């Protein structure tokens, strides 16, 4: 433990390197379709003119996603990749399309580390444990490097907390100096002494509007990225507005002035982002702007559409119980720190019931800022009926600040060396247990979400993309079942809508790759649809190839269904490990039966090993080729 503590910086830098290496590996795990279809699929389609599957969120008639925040991240990274590809041929590959925006997000994620470090440094607090725990969390290593709008929300939240905390610390110092000089001024007996203290008060730096522009820009940017950012920003902004209130030198009028300044400074940012969205979705053009043919209908605000849609049609995305975030998602994401949330909340309830209000964090403290910035978003997000774990990832910042030292303790710096006692050893042992549990749980979930969950989709797409490139005159028909949506831009097919020119001839590319994604539909109906398409395509003059992507756990069921059709031949082409679809979990029954129900005296080792190997084989994504006999 002592050696571990002495090497805190080395551990932290190692975790920073690990964060980058995990992106470059790359991580094959596929957490949720939104990481592709709300960023990568959209911008790769626009910038590289690739055939992609643009989701309904970006429908020009009723867009609910602002393009500005994502353009500054995914869009900017793809533009850099495009310019680089002009110098170096062959850069546009499935790997570069996947990794480039993730690497860009990964580098931005270090702003979270920087924010926590600066908050602690400015407040004269220890920061090593906070940085180690933050950077070792799989939320930062996996979720924090993905192209989710939630990841941008995490980064925005971290920066907002930093600027608010910095303003609070600065104001506390200035107000204390101001109060001290005011008292000395009032107690002064001579005019010369009064003049001296009055001049000193005039020389104090202004603090009332400190960081107002940064806070307003981050708040507007965050809300345009995800309107739910309001839930995260409401109390940090409240703390910023209330700095110094309660001191005689800061009047209530300052609160209203600060609010007015924030509102006025946010207006230009709002206008810029609304104009960007309006141009992107075609609501306004440069010609109309030049002719001043502009009205309120010439602009679109996707964030307002987002709120309208979710108030009206949230059922389409699934309704969850209100307690899901609290009882499931918090422990799932934050494990050991998640447990401490319940302990802290219980402790607050006890102090409230006993009216020990003086023991609660105040509005002037950074700890008070962090606690409210943790609890209030949990309560507000729990009110929304659609609840996913990734909605909570910004909470890793206040959680790391509040609870890090309960998991990983920094050594006390003292002049006198204290000999270890039995009591200290017990405390150290308990701390070691928490740290061990923290490492194990983050390792398990990091591997699961980073490499196993839907982990066969990217390598399968990479393989098929290279096969498609080898046969430019062949049509490919790709069926999928019981897996997430396939990111179509990884297949690098040119847009069919684009008009190409060759000397004096204009032409359009014909579509070569067709996707038939069946979700969790019954395999019999999926197979029947596939057979019908194979029959129809057999009359096509152009050569066709047919493939099926299916979790190996459904292999037996797929083979049983295929026996109904004698004219179809199915060949297992390739297996992609590891892959786990929660829609089609492997069958653990046989192994469980052998280990629990069968008499061990009559049980052979071969039976267990064969059952275990069979189970391992089901953790793959199988690629089948379908041919006519």
Average pLDDT of the segment spanning 386-410: 93
Question: Are residues 432 and 463 located together in one domain of the fold?
Answer: no
Q: Are residues 413 and 487 in the same domain?
A: no
Contact present, 332 and 388 (Cβ < 8 Å): no
pLDDT of residue 416: 44
Is the domain of 508 the same as that of 535?
yes
pLDDT attached to residue 1: 41
The residues facing 453 across adjacent strands are 580
Average pLDDT over residues 454-464: 96
Whether 56 has a pLDDT exceeding 60, the answer reads: yes
Instruction: For residues 428 and 474, state if they share a domain.
Output: no
Q: Does residue 116 sit in the same domain as residue 197?
A: yes
Look at strands 475-480 and 513-517 and give their pairing: parallel
- What pLDDT score was predicted for residue 566? 76
Judge whether residue 414 has pLDDT over 60: no
What pLDDT digit, counting tens, does each position of 100-153 carry?
Answer: 999 999 999 999 999 999 999 999 999 999 999 999 999 999 999 999 999 999
Are residues 410 and 479 located together in one domain of the fold? no
Does one domain contain both 437 and 462?
no
Looking at residue 593, its pLDDT comes to 59
| Overall pTM > 0.95 | no
Q: Which of 228, 95, 252 is nearest to 153 (CA)?
A: 228
- Same-domain status, 249 and 106: yes
**Range of 566's domain?**
457-628
Query: What are the C-alpha distances in Å from 435 to residues 127, 274, 313, 430, 624?
Result: 17, 46, 43, 9, 45
Amino acid 385: pLDDT: 87
Report percent pLDDT > 70 for the chain.
90
Q: What is the pLDDT of residue 249?
A: 63
The answer as to whether 54 is a domain residue is no
What's the structural domain count of the chain? 2
pLDDT tens per residue across span 484-518: 999 999 999 998 877 767 777 776 778 899 999 99
CB atoms within 10 A of CB 576: 21
Of 427, 453, 479, the domain-final residue: 453
Query: Do 409 and 5 contact (CB within 8 A), yes or no?
Result: yes
Is residue 189 a part of any domain in this protein? yes
| Domain end among 420, 453, 486 | 453
**Residue 277 belongs to a domain:** yes
* Whether 354 and 215 share a structural domain: yes
- 290-305: per-residue pLDDT in tens? 787 788 888 999 999 9
Per-residue model confidence (pLDDT) at position 596: 64
**Of the segments 159-168, 195-204, 320-329, 579-588, which one has the largest average pLDDT value?**
159-168
Does 448 share its domain with 466? no
How sure is the predictor about 201, in pLDDT bands with cuts at 50, 70 and 90? confident
SS3 95: helix
Does 571 share its domain with 619?
yes
pLDDT digits (tens, 9 = 90+) for 72-115: 999 999 999 999 999 888 899 999 999 999 999 999 999 999 99
Average pLDDT over residues 62-73: 92
When pLDDT is averaged across residues 608-615 and rounded to a whole number, the result is 78
Domain final residue, candidates 421, 453, 485: 453
Mean of all residue pLDDT scores within the chain: 87
- State the average pLDDT over residues 419-445: 73
Q: Report pLDDT digits (tens) over 464-481.
A: 999 999 998 899 999 999
Distance CA 482, CA 414 (A): 59
Q: Are residues 286 and 193 in the same domain?
A: yes
């Amino acid at each position: 433990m002592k050696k571990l503590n002495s090497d805190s910086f080395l551990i932290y830098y190692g975790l920073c390197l690990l964060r980058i290496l995990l992106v470059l590996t790359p991580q094959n795990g596929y957490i949720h379709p939104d990481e592709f279809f709300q960023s990568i699929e959209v911008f790769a389609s626009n910038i590289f003119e690739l055939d992609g599957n643009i989701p309904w969120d970006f429908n020009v008639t009723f867009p609910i996603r602002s393009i500005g925040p994502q353009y500054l991240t995914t869009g900017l990274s793809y533009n850099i990749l495009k310019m680089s590809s002009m110098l170096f041929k062959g850069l546009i590959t499935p790997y570069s399309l996947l990794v480039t925006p993730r690497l860009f997000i990964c580098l931005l994620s270090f702003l979270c580390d920087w924010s926590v470090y600066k908050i602690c440094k400015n407040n004269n607090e220890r920061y090593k444990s906070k940085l180690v725990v933050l950077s070792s969390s799989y939320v930062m290593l996996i979720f924090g490097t993905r192209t989710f709008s939630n990841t941008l929300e995490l980064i925005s939240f971290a920066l907002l907390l930093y600027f608010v905390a910095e303003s609070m610390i600065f104001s506390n110092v200035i107000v204390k100096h101001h109060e001290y000089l005011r008292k000395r001024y009032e107690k002064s007996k001579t005019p010369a002494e009064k003049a001296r203290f009055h001049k000193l008060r005039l020389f104090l730096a202004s603090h009332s509007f400190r960081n107002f522009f940064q806070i307003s820009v981050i708040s507007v940017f965050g809300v345009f990225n995800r309107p739910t950012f309001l839930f995260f920003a409401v109390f940090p902004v409240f703390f910023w507005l209330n700095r110094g209130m309660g001191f005689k030198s800061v009047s209530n009028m300052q609160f209203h002035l600060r609010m007015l300044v924030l509102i006025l400074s946010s207006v230009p940012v709002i206008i810029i982002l609304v104009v960007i969205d309006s141009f992107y979705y075609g609501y306004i053009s440069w010609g109309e702007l030049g002719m001043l043919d502009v009205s309120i209908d010439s602009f679109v605000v996707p964030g307002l559409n987002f709120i309208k849609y979710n108030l009206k049609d949230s059922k389409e995305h699934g309704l969850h119980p209100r307690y899901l975030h609290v009882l499931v998602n918090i422990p799932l994401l934050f494990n050991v720190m998640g447990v401490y949330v319940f302990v802290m909340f219980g402790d607050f309830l006890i102090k409230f019931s006993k009216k020990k209000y003086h023991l609660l964090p105040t509005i002037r403290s950074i700890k008070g800022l962090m606690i409210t910035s943790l609890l209030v978003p949990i309560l507000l997000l729990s009110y929304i009926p659609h609840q996913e774990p990734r909605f909570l990832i910004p909470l890793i910042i206040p959680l790391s600040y509040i609870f890090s030292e309960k998991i990983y303790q920094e050594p006390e710096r003292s002049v006198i060396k204290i000999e270890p006692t039995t009591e200290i050893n017990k405390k150290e042992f308990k701390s070691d247990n928490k740290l061990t549990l923290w490492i194990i749980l983050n390792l398990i979930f990091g591997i699961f979400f980073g490499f196993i969950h839907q982990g066969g989709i990217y390598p399968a797409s990479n393989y098929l993309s290279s096969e498609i490139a080898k046969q430019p005159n062949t049509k490919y028909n790709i069926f999928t079942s019981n897996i997430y949506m396939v990111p179509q831009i990884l297949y690098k097919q040119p847009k069919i809508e684009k008009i190409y020119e060759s000397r004096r001839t204009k032409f359009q590319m014909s579509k070569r790759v067709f996707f038939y994604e069946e979700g969790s539909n019954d395999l019999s109906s999926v197979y029947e649809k596939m057979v019908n398409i194979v029959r129809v395509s057999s009359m096509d003059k152009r050569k066709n190839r047919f493939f099926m992507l299916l979790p190996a756990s459904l292999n037996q069921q797929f083979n049983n269904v295929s026996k109904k059709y004698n004219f179809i031949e199915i060949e297992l082409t390739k297996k992609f490990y590891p892959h786990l679809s929660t829609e089609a979990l492997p069958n653990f029954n046989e192994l469980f039966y052998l280990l629990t129900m069968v008499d061990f005296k009559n049980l052979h080792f071969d039976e267990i090993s064969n059952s275990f190997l069979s189970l391992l084989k089901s953790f793959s994504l199988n690629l089948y080729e379908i041919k006519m006999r």
